[in-house]
């Protein structure tokens, strides 16, 4: 009886191992028969807002963002170039799907932390997925000194949370479009007329011009009223941005014009006051440099 039991256990173990090995082979066959879309956007940003792209596993992006003054500020202010706001950020890929980041903006002295998770990736073949979907969540802390304009009393009141679903499709080697439904929750709205919850919709696109350059456009629509409730001060406007991406090996340069001075969601979605038709246009740029901490393999080309 003991011998028969031992033989049965060995056979069951062999069968389980064979099943596991068969499943692995099946996954490999499925992956080899699936073509995944690459480089829907060049970087983790379209212009102001995030794209569906994430930093690769064990890679880190160091991003320097600048926003100069308004073009209509005149020659005495060198048409805005005498002024500058800056944001410094580090973004790290915990896996090929999950990344985290932290940044500090001189505008409103804001510190922000965020996480992005690549839920779905556009593909064709055995696995057919028409779009890429990435989830985003962030917390921004306003560290400005309290004043009559910013009557913060506690750390909790200074927090603003943003949740986004980034939905994008690469229609061709040249054209990519993205739709971004967004919720911004402010523990304490900085203007009395503003609601704590702000609902917005981001529209973004990229058109590849040459092997290493592209034209980008981004628009954030924030209705003044949502579900019958006023959600933002009428003096705030929607954000429109135009820009160019230039890829030079390990660097990505993003040059753009926008009517927003803010460089994170709580600012360019809910606090934009500039108007293009008034000349409230700010020149800015993002510079991203990628560092790889995975010595076991070379960093793959982005497929630009």
CA dist., res. 240 & res. 253, Å (int): 19
123-125 vs 175-186, strand pairing mode: unpaired
Q: Taking a C-beta distance cutoff of 8 angstroms, is the pair 116, 99 a contact?
A: yes
| Least confidently predicted of 9-18, 25-34, 235-244, 283-292 | 9-18
**What six digits make up the tokens of 59?**
């890679």
Residue 9 has pLDDT above 70, yes or no: no
Q: Taking a C-beta distance cutoff of 8 angstroms, is the pair 288, 281 a contact?
A: no
Residue 149 has pLDDT above 70, yes or no: no
pLDDT in tens, 201-212: 999 999 999 989
Q: Taking a C-beta distance cutoff of 8 angstroms, is the pair 181, 204 a contact?
A: no
Rounded to an integer, the average pLDDT of 2-16 is 57
Which residue blocks in the chain are alpha helix, DSSP H? 2-32, 265-268
Q: Of 224, 51, 33, give the one whose Cα is nearest residue 132.
A: 51
Tell me the pLDDT of the chain averaged across its residues.
86
The pLDDT assigned to 32 comes to 67
Most confident of 16-30, 141-155, 253-267: 253-267
């Amino acid at each position: 009886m003991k011998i028969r039991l031992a033989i049965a256990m060995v056979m069951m173990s062999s069968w389980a191992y064979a099943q596991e090995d068969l499943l692995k082979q099946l996954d490999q066959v499925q992956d080899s028969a699936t073509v995944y879309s690459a480089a829907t956007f060049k970087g983790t940003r379209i212009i102001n807002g995030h794209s569906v792209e994430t930093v690769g596993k064990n890679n880190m992006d160091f991003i320097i963002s600048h926003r100069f003054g308004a073009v209509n500020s005149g020659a005495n202010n060198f048409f805005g170039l005498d002024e500058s706001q800056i944001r410094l950020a580090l973004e790290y890929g915990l896996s090929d799907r999950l990344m985290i980041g932290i940044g500090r903006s001189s505008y409103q002295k804001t510190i922000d932390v965020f996480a992005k998770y690549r839920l779905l990736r556009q593909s064709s073949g055995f696995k057919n997925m028409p779009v890429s979907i990435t989830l985003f969540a962030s917390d921004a802390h306003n560290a400005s000194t309290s004043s009559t304009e910013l009557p913060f009393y506690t750390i909790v009141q200074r927090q603003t949370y943003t949740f986004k679903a980034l939905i994008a499709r690469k229609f061709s080697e040249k054209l990519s479009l993205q739709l971004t439904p967004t919720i911004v929750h402010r523990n304490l709205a900085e203007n009395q007329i503003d609601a704590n919850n702000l609902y917005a919709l981001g529209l973004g696109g990229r058109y590849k011009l040459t092997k290493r350059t592209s034209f980008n456009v981004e628009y954030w629509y924030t209705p003044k009223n949502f579900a019958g409730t006023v959600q933002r001060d009428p003096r705030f406007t929607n954000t429109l941005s135009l820009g160019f991406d230039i890829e030079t090996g390990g660097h990505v340069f993003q040059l753009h014009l926008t009517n927003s001075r803010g460089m994170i969601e709580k600012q360019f979605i809910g606090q934009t006051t500039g108007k293009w038709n008034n000349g409230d246009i700010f020149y800015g740029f993002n510079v991203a440099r990628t560092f790889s901490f995975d010595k076991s393999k070379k960093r793959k080309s982005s497929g630009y």
